[in-house]
Amino acid sequence: MSEPILIVENLKKYYILRGSLLQVLGLRPPIYVRAVDGISFTVNRGEIFCLAGESGCGKTTTGKVIVRLLEPTSGKMLYKPSPDARRVLEKYGYKQEYVDLAMEYPKEVDKALRREIQMVFQDPFGSLNPRMKIKDILEEPLLIHNIGRDPTERLEHVMKALEEVKLTPPQEFIDRYPHMLSGGQRQRVAIARALILRPSLIVADEPVSMLDVSIRAEILQLMLEIRKTRNISYVFITHDLAIAANICDRIAVMYLGKIVEMGETAKVVDNPLHPYTRALMQAVPEPDPRNRLKLRKLDIKGEVPSAINIPPGCRFHPRCPFAMDVCRREEPPLVEVEPGHYVACWLYAKK
Amino acid sequence: MTLKESIKSVIDVIRAEVWSQVTGKIALTLLTLLVILGIIAAIMLPPNFVQVWNDPKPWGIKPKTVPPEWASIFGYACVPHYEVDLRSITYRYDISSNSVTLRYTAVYRLTANGYPRDLALAIDGFRLANVQSIRISVSLTRPDNVKVQNVLEYLATGINGSIRIDGVLTNPDSMKVASMLVTLYPQLLAYSSVYDIAREYTKYLFGDLTKPDNVATLNGEYRVEVTIDVTYLRSPSRSDVDKLLSAIKSSTNFRFAIVGTCYGLMGTDYRGRDIAEALFFGLPVALLIGFGTAVATTLIGLFAGLVSGYYGGFIDEFIQRFIDVLGSIPTLPILILLAVAVQQAYGASPLKPFIMLMTILGTLIVFGWGGLAIVVRSMTLSLKAEAYVEAARIVGASNWWIMRKHIIPQLLPYIAAQMVYATPSAILTEAGLSILGLQHGLPTWGGILADARIYGNIAYWWWIFPPGIAISITSLTFVLLGLALERVVEPRLRRV
């Protein structure tokens, strides 16, 4: 097993809800939306780590905190910088092997770290500025990081990046505007923008969920290839367990801001332990046409509670068919039930 | 995309979206015309124009509230104004034992179906030393070869040997002219008294008097002779003539006029001031007021809205509440208050008109940027939440980079249109304030209109309509431009 590149420890992201005047004045405790409520995981070099869960469970927030679009409320994100970034870090006296992304750094260090971790967004229609040409979109990161001495050299970089994401010939694309491209092509451009700075970690926030089913496979294939050629790690955020099962090395299932089950994909998918994971697995569309008329029974009931009023104890207990007394009182710890397979459920914690 | 490129793209958009429309063509043509005229006027503008405009002296000789010369097209009996500047025409001189006589002759052609209003002599800033007295007289030789002597006379005696003439404006003694005419044409008395003749002396002075019962204009060439007699205590020499001539040359005004009943291109106002001049030199002022206010409010609004929307938090709250406060203060009473205060503080200063105008503009700017800032803030709020802005931030873009590359270019078309609409509103507000009585004294279009409201009436159409039309055309230009820019602002109307 290779070394971890990112270690997230007890990461929390709360949003303060501005409520009544009393709360504004501090006479009443403020209300928090606990979007991410203490999660821990590790991403290894060259690994695809999946964050799965339904909408509102905090997986996108986690992704945005990792790329430092959002500041975490608390917790650590230890990242192992590449040699290039390490040089900049050492200049400023950061000698540790891992740097905490949750902290603030001087401008130059900040820039060097930003170069290491990039993101691919869900919506390829929104993530490219409609007023900029593809060339300008891809040149922007180079300009910000002073890569390439002159426009021709930067253009070469841009061409290479376009070739890497299989937009060939690149000359045909550089002068186009985003609205002249198809969804799949745009997502390729977005991936090229993430790649052009040669990052070590890419947070892919549902990169294929807005694409046509026919194109999904191509984009996923492309991402897998890039991992192979560049040994990049991915944090792959998805709500689609079918995709997760196909491309992830390890998977973490989130529910209401917590990881409820985590482990190697094969173990989690073939042997889901947490009642929520099981329900998710049951909801995956059945590919076998013989089963198309079979009624599938879901064990769980009700809706996801709001992140403002998280139920006490195990946050899944109001919907859980196996809820016990202890579930209503205490939060279950994340325990290792078999090597590399963790579950947060009292059903397994007792053993 | 650099700034240069974004400017170029704006120009491209103007060419593609504005010029392609009829309104856009009209607007751009008018705008170019106005700007070129404005630049010409600004270059030609005499440095002391405002002072001259407000000084009654240089205008005293001009006819008061007379229509333009082209009014004759509509059947108005128009006698053009005639003026001789004695500082620049040829002369003859005689030296006698104790005096020097300068004789100026000029030819006045009367070809109208009417009579001049008056004769006038204006002298200002004349200084001559070592003389006893000076006598200036004008005589007129009519086309029928009758010479009317001493139509106009002015006499000044020296004090301690030196003569100073300041701000003198003399008209003929009508009784004297009348009695002179009666002596020359005794038959006049059969039809009218000397008093009647004196009352309308120009009618008889410039009339065909062969039929005294029915006097008509005597058209033809009148020879005007102006004689300047200077008496000395001793016998004068050639050098005294030179001194006299240089005294005349260096005076600020030395003119004789046959005051007409119409004047110039645009007529005159109640003080005899040339309205055409005010209209022409009012153009750059109007454009400056319009552009200046529009640019300032737009820039402040853009900056405030951008900062407010982009940074959020306390600064956003502060700016927005500040705009609320500004918006709830009524502008007009504040303007009146400030105008009165400036009037009190700078009433005597020659800079008063300028300070007053700047106060008005400053107030318009201070109270004018709020609306735009609110709109820019809301646009910025939605733009900064776009995924491509987040993508740029992940890449490592600074705030300034994001504003420059991703937010301002998107705001630009809207800002441009906003600026275009703000321009006429500033011009109109300035004019409106002048009419309301917040007079700054500058010869702006609003200023002319304000004068017309106080001192004129609807019969003085040349005084009221031209500035109104000028304001309307300028506003129309910008409104048409705004209409044409609508396509740029509203992408759904755009043909991409």
For A211-244, write each residue's pLDDT tens digit.
Answer: 888 889 999 999 999 998 988 999 999 988 888 8
Helix axes B352-368, B275-311, angle to 10 degrees: 30
Q: Which of A25-34, B236-245, B376-385 has the lowest mean pLDDT?
A: A25-34
* Residue whose pair of structure tokens reads 């703000």 in the numeric block: B422
Residues in chain A with CB shorter than 8 Å from the CB of B1 are 131-132, 136
Cβ–Cβ pairs < 8 A, chains A and B: 58
pLDDT tens-digit profile of B102-119? 999 999 998 888 899 899
Most confident of A18-32, B273-287, B407-421, B439-453: B273-287
Interchain contact, A132 vs B1, CB within 8 Å: yes
Q: Using CA atoms, how far apart are residues B238 and B223, in angstroms rounded to an integer?
A: 28
pLDDT tens-digit profile of B31-79? 999 999 999 998 988 888 888 888 888 888 899 899 998 888 888 888 8
Q: What DSSP state is assigned to residue A295?
A: P
pLDDT tens-digit profile of B145-197? 888 888 899 999 888 888 898 888 999 998 999 998 888 888 888 888 889 88
Burial class (CB in 10 A: 0-12, 13-18, 19+), A189: buried
pLDDT tens-digit profile of A263-298? 999 899 888 999 999 888 887 777 778 877 777 777
Amino acid (one-letter) located at A303: E
Q: Does position B496 have pLDDT exceeding 50, yes or no?
A: no
Question: Exposure pattern of B464-486 as b/e (b: 16+ CB <10 Å)?
Answer: bebbeebbeebbebbbbbbbbbb
* pTM for the model: 0.78
Q: Per DSSP, what are the bridge partners of residue A41?
A: A8
Q: Using CA atoms, how far apart are residues A54 and A256, in angstroms rounded to an integer?
A: 9
- Listed in sequence order, the residues at least 6 apart from B337 whose beta carbon sits closer than 8 Å to its beta carbon are none
Considering the domain delimited by A4-131+177-349, tell me its CATH architecture: 3-Layer(aba) Sandwich (3.40)
Q: Does position B495 have pLDDT exceeding 70, yes or no?
A: no
Instruction: Please report, to the nearest 10 degrees, the dihedral formed by the alpha carbons of residues A258, A262, A268, A269 taken in order.
Output: 60
Do residues B406 and B392 make contact, with C-beta atoms less than 8 angstroms apart? yes
Task: Quote the pLDDT of residue B493.
Answer: 57
Q: Which of A131, A176, A180 to mutate to test binding with chain B, by most B CBs within 10 Å of its CB?
A: A131
Interchain contact, A117 vs B394, CB within 8 Å: yes
Task: Quote the pLDDT of residue A288.
Answer: 79
Does residue B143 sit at the A interface (CB-CB below 8 Å)?
A: no
Does residue A222 sit at the B interface (CB-CB below 8 Å)?
A: no
Task: Quote the pLDDT of residue A212.
Answer: 86
Q: Where are the domains of chain A?
A: 4-131+177-349
Burial class (CB in 10 A: 0-12, 13-18, 19+), A49: buried
Q: Using CA atoms, how far apart are residues B439 and B229, in angstroms rounded to an integer?
A: 45
Domains defined for chain B, CATH in brackets: 3-50+274-493 (1.10.3720.10), 79-259 (2.60.120)
Give the A window 161-220 contacts with B, CB below 8 Å.
190, 193, 197
Q: Using CA atoms, how far apart are residues B195 and B184, in angstroms rounded to an integer?
A: 16
pLDDT mean over A71-83: 91
Interchain contact, B396 vs A111, CB within 8 Å: yes
CA closest to B496 among chain A residues? A179
Closest-CA residue to B371 (of B294, B440, B447, B431): B294
